A and B are shown apart, each in its own frame.
Chain A
Amino acid sequence: MSDPIPYRPLTPGSQPPLDSPAYGSTHKRHPKQPLLRIPQTLTETSAPRFSPERYPVQADMSQVNGRSALGERIIVAGRITDEDGRPQRGVMVEVWQANASGRYHHPRDQHDAPLDPNFEGRARIFTDEDGKYSFVSIKPGAYPWRNHWNAWRPIHIHFGLHGAGFAQRMITQMYFPGDPLLELDPIFQSTPDKAARERLISKFDLEITRPEWALGYRFDIVLRGREATPFENA
């Protein structure tokens, strides 16, 4: 049996370091020993096969049982490709976010902002044959956190991605254009490469916007690509 084709190492600067001093919670949680580089095997190049049959799609966060959530309705859409631009089909995308007031539907979130009974703030979708996905939501609100004095998270939506290899598994956050908090946010700022950082900011898109209904934002995502095959090297 031939060896699986490994995923390429992550590009230096494109990822935030585990030790990101401006983000206080990293202090006691980042490993101090260097990571052990291992040869990729089937364990890393295979991944769970998720299907909508067992993991049902939920693509509309803007309502609960037909009752509309408060806030500005939005459509988020984009394309998931690998580093070589190849569409990634059947990627399970998990999404979660705060409500329009900046509060999560979560017992530990004690921010003094109202909960919305018609907003749960989670979704699950799959990419199509062209790597495209979309969902409907409410524009989330900013919220305070205790990282430093007067700290506020820029508005964001959490994305969890399940690709074709466990080495592609990742969680990220999508931000919104023009948010003045981005400049001040140690989580957003922790990615060293400016272009990599800016790709976390969605773009307002009139093509995605639906007349009389909701503004559209585009957020494209890139998952790790594979090394060239031995054949391509030959």
Chain B
Amino acid sequence: MSELQDLTAAVEKGNRKEATRLTQVLLDAGMPPLDIVESGLVPAMSNVGEKFKKNEVFVPEMLIAARAMKEAMAMIQPLLTAAGIKPKYTAVIGTVQGDLHDIGKNLVAMMLKGANFNVIDVGVNVAPEKFLAAAKENNAHLVGLSALLTTTMPAMKTTVDAFREAGVQTKIMIGGAPITQQFANEIGADGYSPDAASAVDLAQTLVA
């Protein structure tokens, strides 16, 4: 269906009006909502992620694409909910205690939503116990920790420790400008991602 391809293209370009118009066209044509998500919206954000990895698009383009997808999803979500259809995986994501930076965290959250994860964004400056509570409450398959500052990196270890001491074995991935795979290994995190697009690949690997 060409409208589906057009929807993918509209989301990729961040064209909100066109994305919502085409979503309505597809719904009116009787396409199942989940098919619109999986065959129209998810591929769009996947394409954007691939282009981001290759430096063909940048953060602003990712954000406006995610915004277009969000508006399309706002039309579809009530239908999915009414049909009892939920995303297969849930991720809790936030910036660790002491750190107020949210761009990286927001990008990963958007990309995970774009890959049809249920994302619980617990915000910035998040204490370990809040991450733990959110993960338990939502039966999270994955927890994402973000930090921009070298001074707040130790809070990642504190958070990982809190999960392990509580006996919660939810997969934990970390990221942020000063973070490395080495650091992830040192603190016992399950994975590290250098950018938001790669974070989706990592998340899918960790929950598989």
Partners in one complex: no
Interface residues of A (CB under 8 A from B): none
